[in-house]
Amino acid sequence: MTGKLNYLNVGCGSKFHTAWHNIDMVPRSPDVQQCNLFKGIPFPDNTFEVVYQSQVLEHFPKDKALPFLKECHRVLKPSGILRIVVPDLENIATEYLRLLKLNIENPSEKSESDYEWILLELLDQSVRNYCGGYMAEYLMKENILNEEYVFNRLGAMGKKIREEFSGINNFNNKNYNVPNKKHKLFYKNLLRTLKEKTIVALFGKHFYNLYKLGSFRMEGEIHMWMYDKFSLTRLLQKTGFSQIIQKDPFSSQINQWETFELDVKDVLPYDPTSLFMEAVK
pLDDT tens digits for 49-96? 999 999 999 999 999 999 999 999 999 999 999 999 999 999 999 999
Summarised one tens digit per residue, pLDDT across range 203-229 is: 566 554 554 545 655 566 889 999 999
DSSP state for residue 64 in the 8-state scheme: H
Q: Is the pLDDT of residue 186 over 80?
A: no
How far does Cα 241 stand from its chain's mean position? 23
* Domain end (from 158, 175, 192): 175
| Residue 163: per-residue pLDDT | 72
Q: Is residue 201 in some structural domain?
A: no
Nearest partner of 36 among 4, 55, 64, 78, judged by Cα: 64
Compute the mean pLDDT over every residue in the chain, rounded to the nearest whole number: 85
Q: Which domain holds residue 259?
A: 7-87+224-280
Range from 63-77, 113-127, 212-226, 267-281 carrying the lowest mean pLDDT: 212-226
- Cβ 12 vs Cβ 24: under 8 Å: yes
Do 137 and 80 belong to one domain? no
Q: Are residues 248 and 274 in the same domain?
A: yes
Judging by beta carbons within 10 Å of its beta carbon (0-12, 13-18, 19+), is residue 84 exposed, middle or buried? buried
- CA 111 to chain centroid: 26
Please give the pLDDT value at position 168. 46
In this model, does residue 174 exceed pLDDT 60?
A: no
Structural domains in the chain (count): 2
Q: Is residue 236 part of a domain?
A: yes
Mean pLDDT of 265-276: 92
Q: Which CATH number covers residue 70?
A: 3.40.50.150
